[in-house]
Amino acid sequence: MKKKNLFSTAALLLAMILFLAACGGDDSDNNTDDGASSDGEDKLEFLQMLTGGTSGTYYPLGGEMATNITEATGIQTDAVSSNASADNVIALQEGDAELAFVQTDVVANAVEGINAFDGNPVDNVLAVGSLYPETIQIVTSADSGIATVEDLAGKTVSVGAPGSGTYINAEQILEVHGMTMDDIDAQNLDFGESTGGIQDGNIDAAFITAGTPTGAVEGLSATVDVSIVSIEQDKIDEMVEKYPYYAEDTIAAGTYGLEEDVTTVAVLAMLAVADSVPEDTVYELTKAIYENASSMAHAKAEFITLDSALDGIGIDVHPGAQKYFDEEGITAE
């Protein structure tokens, strides 16, 4: 009888220990989850930032920005050369990168599922913030005889990769001038290939969408007298009305050795992020970008300000970035 009571007592004690352990385990799990959320324990250790071609603006600017993020947050951030906007959005969509430079118009098209993203809307990419104006430059040599957009008819013209931001810009500019890609001999070249082709005489002109001055065009101007084709005011007005993400822009005299200002249009460069990146991480990198922009040497850094951080954004802002903007009292116009 005594033996039986001992076994019963031991069983009861074991049951109580298991019950208390289970309760303690639940509390521990809950505390861990709360800590990850509030203390940032789920913050990423590495970030890959897709930029653009090495001869454009995204790559050098992205390199400086990545350094600022790494130093300010402790998150190792690497700027990687890429095919720019459209490919960058797809890479974010497919989980191949966390951050990317994109044009505001391209990512808006992606979310809407139109143009290059027809039938394939992107639903997992969010905005960090706007950076600087990206000017659509129709580059040619001064002796090409090309003075207007209509003069491009029948010419060999680089329009960027199919589906890229530059390609779509070229398509829309031709459209408001009553033209299509069929009216030109379209070549799908990157910026460096485009300016090299103009220098060698293999192409007549190139559409280049990038912040000015663009490295590839500066390089061309060192060996060739450069001309940038102006867009007439009525066509600018038509573009802005039809596609609100465009804005009138001016390439100042002296840029590339130009003797006069050139009127054209621009979209905005922005930084986009995969929605899977934790809120704390995006908060920290957003803060790092906008609070350290003045330390960057690139000419476009002066445009990276809190005052314009939400300009032209046509998609949802990541909660981490929004938290930072809310703290700073920044709202969309």
* Fold type of domain 134-267: D-Maltodextrin-Binding Protein; domain 2 (3.40.190)
First-to-last alpha carbon distance for the chain, in angstroms, is 84
User: Other CB atoms closer than 10 Å to residue 64's CB: what's the count?
Assistant: 18
**Which position has the token pair 């990038």?**
210
Pairing of the two strands 156-158 and 205-210: parallel
User: What residues does 129 pair with on adjacent strands?
Assistant: 271
What architecture does CATH give domain 46-131+270-327?
A: 3-Layer(aba) Sandwich (3.40)
Mean pLDDT of 91-105: 95
pLDDT bucket at 163, cuts 50 / 70 / 90: low
Q: Report the DSSP beta bridge partners of residue 110.
A: none
User: Would the pLDDT of 10 be above 60?
Assistant: no
Residue-level pLDDT at 222: 96
Q: What is the pTM of this model?
A: 0.73
Sign of CA dihedral 173, 177, 181, 186: negative
Cα angle 148, 150, 154; round to 5: 120
- Cα–Cα distance for residue pair 194/230, rounded to 1 Å: 19
What is the DSSP secondary structure assignment for residue 317, as one 8-state letter? Answer: B
Residue type at position 287: K
DSSP 230: -
Q: What is the identity of the amino acid at 279? A: E
pLDDT at 72 over 80: yes
Using pLDDT thresholds of 50, 70 and 90, give the confidence band for residue 333. low
pLDDT tens for each residue of 247-305: 889 999 999 999 999 999 999 999 999 999 999 999 999 999 999 999 999 989 999 99
DSSP 21-56: HHHHHHHHHHHHHHHHHHS-TT--SEEEEE---TTS
